């Protein structure tokens, strides 16, 4: 490891000279500046690891230098303020602005300084090491932030592993909105041999046809009015890597034809271009629609669908894997602790029970929003039921036993409530498919309808929807 650089910013020549002797003795490479402006320039050009910053400088104060570093985003790993007379106010402001510590120029201050520099650099070293290590672990496992312990998710992740390492060039991911299709697409990419090449996502629903074509295939200069320069499209950018086609069922049919051609031939032309460009891209397409229904409606071309659907994965809705909720929530709380700089420990049992009994029509995305709102509202160190935002009445059961397929109910609950919870949980487990739920409950669909009507839960539009399973 090369010697770490220490920059001394002080207007007194003698102070600089003594500090230089000491710092070199401690094994650092030393830089000097005798005023604030020179110090800032030196930070910009030399990126020192540590800055020893005098509070009083001829041109500006040390605090102003600190402020400037913060504003330009050039804050070194550690800044240590040095001063002849430390005033509490200065100390406070400096620490607030990001200084690591304050050292007073007392007669024997060198020993203290040696330790402070060492600690400051050690702290940041540990932090960056930890960050690289985390990134490494993620990259190796490929599962980034996908959390799941349920059999459904562990099966899915096993399948992801197989598909990722296969040579399949097209993969289709289905699942309701918010179930984690984007995450799974990334997991596929980072588990594949393509992991060091780009992952390029493009959302098909947001883009009109002409623009989409330029986005995907790029264009030559002058290909159309606005094409002032040549631009590479997503296919080229993703070369060697993975292209995620999000909301693929919303793609304009005209583009579907062109896309299919590219998939079949492995090459394309930029708009206004003459030469064929060969690419090696794996296409992962995602949709929250039932593709068979989309084909029936004429939105999705059948030939395109069959080309995409070489491998197909389906991400289960959250209500079918309630046992994943505690772990996902723990992960979210950890994430928000970082984002909001808080130290919240988690959610208490009562709150968890509520979270585990909601049907989560918006899946993990909805859960995330609810936990974030509760997190912000939370004043103590544990999220309680009191701070949970009101979740819609689509709750499934109020009693959770810790097993996805089991339902425990407290003694003394009226029989009709037991029946209601049981029926609703079964419905949720069957993705609101009434035929399947009635089947499992061994009652007729008509009886089920009557029950739901009695409980005021039958909406005229709720038919057995949800992602249909595709051959």
Ligand X SMILES: Nc1ncnc2c1ncn2[C@@H]1O[C@H](COP(=O)(O)OP(=O)(O)O)[C@@H](O)[C@H]1O
| Chain positions contacting Mg ion, by CB under 5 A | 181-182
> Is residue 87 within 8 Å of residue 69, measured between CB atoms?
no
Sequence-distant (≥ 6) Cβ neighbours of residue 68 within 8 angstroms: 40
335 sits near ligand X (criterion: CB under 6 A): no
Q: Cβ closer to Mg ion: 53 or 185?
A: 185
Residue at token pair 């609950």: 413
411-419 long-range CB contacts below 8 Å, 24 or more apart? 419/451
Q: Cβ closer to ligand X: 119 or 369?
A: 369
Q: Cβ closer to ligand X: 39 or 175?
A: 175
**CB of residue 156 to ligand X, shortest distance in Å:** 9
Residue nearest to ligand X (CB): 180
Residue 299: contacted member of ligand X, Mg ion, none (CB under 5 to 8 Å, by partner type) = none
Q: Cβ closer to ligand X: 49 or 247?
A: 247
Binders of ligand X: how many residues, by CB under 6 A? 17
Site for ligand X in 269-328 (CB under 6 A): 328
Residue 291: contacted member of Mg ion, ligand X, none (CB under 5 to 8 Å, by partner type) = none
Q: Cβ closer to ligand X: 168 or 183?
A: 183
245 sits near ligand X (criterion: CB under 6 A): no
**CB of residue 340 to Mg ion, shortest distance in Å:** 25
Answer for which of 64, 93, 177, 433 binds ligand X (CB under 6 A) is: 177
Stretch that binds ligand X, among 78-86, 142-150, 208-216, 276-284 (CB under 6 A): 142-150
Q: x-or-dash pattern for ligand X, window 364-393, by CB under 6 A?
A: xx--x-------------------------
Across 196-234, b (16+ Cβ under 10 Å) vs e yields ebebbbbebeebeeeebbbbbbbbbeebeeebeeebebb
Residue at token pair 């094409």: 227
Stretch that binds ligand X, among 30-38, 43-51, 143-151, 234-242 (CB under 6 A): 143-151
241 sits near ligand X (criterion: CB under 6 A): no
Q: Cβ closer to ligand X: 68 or 363?
A: 363
- What is the rounded CA–CA span in Å between residue 272 and residue 13? 66
334 sits near ligand X (criterion: CB under 6 A): no
Q: Cβ closer to ligand X: 331 or 468?
A: 331
Q: Cβ closer to Mg ion: 203 or 433?
A: 203
Q: Are strands 267-268 and 277-278 parallel, antiparallel or unpaired?
A: antiparallel
**CB of residue 321 to ligand X, shortest distance in Å:** 9
Residue 241: contacted member of ligand X, Mg ion, none (CB under 5 to 8 Å, by partner type) = none
**CB of residue 183 to ligand X, shortest distance in Å:** 4
Residue at token pair 């096993």: 158
Site for ligand X in 147-176 (CB under 6 A): 147-148, 175
138 sits near ligand X (criterion: CB under 6 A): no
Q: Cβ closer to ligand X: 48 or 180?
A: 180
145 sits near ligand X (criterion: CB under 6 A): yes
Q: Cβ closer to ligand X: 272 or 466?
A: 466
Residue among 352, 366, 362 nearest 399 (CA): 352
Residue 146: contacted member of Mg ion, ligand X, none (CB under 5 to 8 Å, by partner type) = ligand X
Residue 98: contacted member of Mg ion, ligand X, none (CB under 5 to 8 Å, by partner type) = none
**CB of residue 300 to Mg ion, shortest distance in Å:** 17
**CB of residue 319 to ligand X, shortest distance in Å:** 13
**CB of residue 325 to ligand X, shortest distance in Å:** 10
**CB of residue 330 to Mg ion, shortest distance in Å:** 23
Answer for which of 114, 182, 220, 250 binds ligand X (CB under 6 A) is: 182
> Is residue 42 within 8 Å of residue 69, measured between CB atoms?
no
**CB of residue 145 to ligand X, shortest distance in Å:** 5
| Contacting positions for ligand X (CB under 6 A) | 145-148, 175, 177-183, 328, 331, 364-365, 368
């Amino acid at each position: 490891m090369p010697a770490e650089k220490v920059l001394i910013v002080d207007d007194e020549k003698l102070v600089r000279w003594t500090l230089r002797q000491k710092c070199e003795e401690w094994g650092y490479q030393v830089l000097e500046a005798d005023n604030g402006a020179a110090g800032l320039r030196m930070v910009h050009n030399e990126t020192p690891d540590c800055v020893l910053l005098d509070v009083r400088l001829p041109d500006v104060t040390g605090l102003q230098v600190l402020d400037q570093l913060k504003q330009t985003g050039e804050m070194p790993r550690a800044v240590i303020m040095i001063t002849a007379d430390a005033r509490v106010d200065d100390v406070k402001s400096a620490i607030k602005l990001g200084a690591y510590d304050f050292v007073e120029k007392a007669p024997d201050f060198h020993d203290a300084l040696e330790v402070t520099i060492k600690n400051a650099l050690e702290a940041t070293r540990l932090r960056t090491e930890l960050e690289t290590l985390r990134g490494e672990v993620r990259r190796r496992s490929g599962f980034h932030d996908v959390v799941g312990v349920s059999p459904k998710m562990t099966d899915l992740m096993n399948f992801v592993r197989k598909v990722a390492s296969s040579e399949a060039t097209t993969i289709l991911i289905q699942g309701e909105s918010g179930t984690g299709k984007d995450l799974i697409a990334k997991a596929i990419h980072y588990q594949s041999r393509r992991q060091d090449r780009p992952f390029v996502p493009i959302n098909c629903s947001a883009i009109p046809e002409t623009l989409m074509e330029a986005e995907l295939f790029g264009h030559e200069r002058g290909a159309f009015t606005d094409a002032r320069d040549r631009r590479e499209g997503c296919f080229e950018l993703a070369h060697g890597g993975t292209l995620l086609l999000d909301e693929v069922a919303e793609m304009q049919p005209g583009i579907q034809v062109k896309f299919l051609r590219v998939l079949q031939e492995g090459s394309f032309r930029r708009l206004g271009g003459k030469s064929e460009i060969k690419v090696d891209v794996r296409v992962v397409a995602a949709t929250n629609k039932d593709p068979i229904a989309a084909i029936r409606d004429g939105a999705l071309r059948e030939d395109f669908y069959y080309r995409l659907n070489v491998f197909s994965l389906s991400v289960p809705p959250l209500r079918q894997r309630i046992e994943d909720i505690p772990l996902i929530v723990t992960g979210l709380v950890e994430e928000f602790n970082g984002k909001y700089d808080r130290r919240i420990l988690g959610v208490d049992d009562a709150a968890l029970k509520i979270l585990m009994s909601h049907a989560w029509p918006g899946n993990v995305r909805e859960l995330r929003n609810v936990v974030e709102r509760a997190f912000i509202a939370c004043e103590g160190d544990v999220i309680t039921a009191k701070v949970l935002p009101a979740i819609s009445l689509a709750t499934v059961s109020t009693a959770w036993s810790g097993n996805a397929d089991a339902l425990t109910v407290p003694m003394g609950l009226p029989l009709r409530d037991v029946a209601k919870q049981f029926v609703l949980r079964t419905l949720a487990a069957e993705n609101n498919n009434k035929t399947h739920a009635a089947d499992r409950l061994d009652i007729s669909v008509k009886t089920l309808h009557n029950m739901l009507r009695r409980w005021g839960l039958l909406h005229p539009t709720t038919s057995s929807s949800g992602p249909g399973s595709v051959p």
